[in-house]
Structure 1
Amino acid sequence: MEEKELKLSLSDWLAIERTRLANERTFLAYFRTALAMLAGGVTLVRLDAFRDIRWLGYILLVLAPLVFITGLWRMVSVRRKIEKRYYKSE
């Protein structure tokens, strides 16, 4: 059985591009959050003024890479779904 060829209009292609760009913006939000958590964690661990809440700094240092990896995984998986659906290699 042959696959039906997709014929998309210009507005459809523009919608796909908006989706791709939204995916990248979402990744950048994850990246920004991870970077802020990393900076906050380092600050809490290093400064003596925050000695009482140093434990929070360690938690932030552990969570920052997890947030980054989650954002990266999400971006790649959404990109693959978009490419699989609309950019099939002929």
Structure 2
Amino acid sequence: MNKDLILREKLALQRTIMANQSTFLAFLRTAMYFLVAGISINHLIDMKDGGIVEYSFMVIAAILLIIGIVNYLYHRRKIKESEQHIGDYKMAYLEADDE
């Protein structure tokens, strides 16, 4: 078993974990932007139906946050399953090294 293969797989897994975290933070940041926009739009612009726009932005923010959390948890579970696959490579490498 190739030792470089194990290292490459582990590094790819770490990059995937960081990408998943980065994607979650992007969802969180976007949700916060919509929340801030919803809170401040009624105060900045005097509109007839400003409350509807304000609550619409807040609902969009909540939806984005929920989608981000679900997306993060789903991909984290898939990454954990991939990590078990890498463990098989390590076991095979250690067994081959013992021979």
Give the structure with higher Rg (CA): 2
Is there any run of 5+ residues in structure 2 with no aligned partner, and where?
88-99
Runs of 4+ in 1 over 6 A off after TM superposition: none
Backbone CA RMSD of aligned residues: 2.1
Supply the distance in 2 between the matched residues of 1:36 and 1:44 (Cα, whole angstroms): 12
Aligned residue pairs total: 82
Is there any run of 5+ residues in structure 1 with no aligned partner, and where?
1-6
Q: CA deviation at 1:30?
A: 0.1
Supply the distance in 1 between the matched residues of 2:46 and 2:30 (Cα, whole angstroms): 21
| RCO comparison, higher one (Cα < 8 Å, 6+) | 2
Residue 38 in 1 paired to residue 45 in 2?
no
Supply the distance in 2 between the matched residues of 1:48 and 1:26 (Cα, whole angstroms): 31
Partner of 1:67: 64
- More displaced 10-residue stretch of structure 1: 74-83 or 55-64: 55-64
Q: CA deviation at 1:50?
A: 3.3
- Work out the percentage of aligned pairs sharing the same amino acid: 33
Q: 1:40 to 1:53 in 2, by over 3 A?
A: farther
- TM-score computed with the length of structure 2 as normaliser: 0.73
What do the CA deviations read for 1:39-66 (whole angstroms, capped 9, x no partner)? 0000123x16332461322210111011
Partner of 1:16: 13
More helix by share: 2
Q: 1:74 to 1:17 in 2, by over 3 A?
A: same
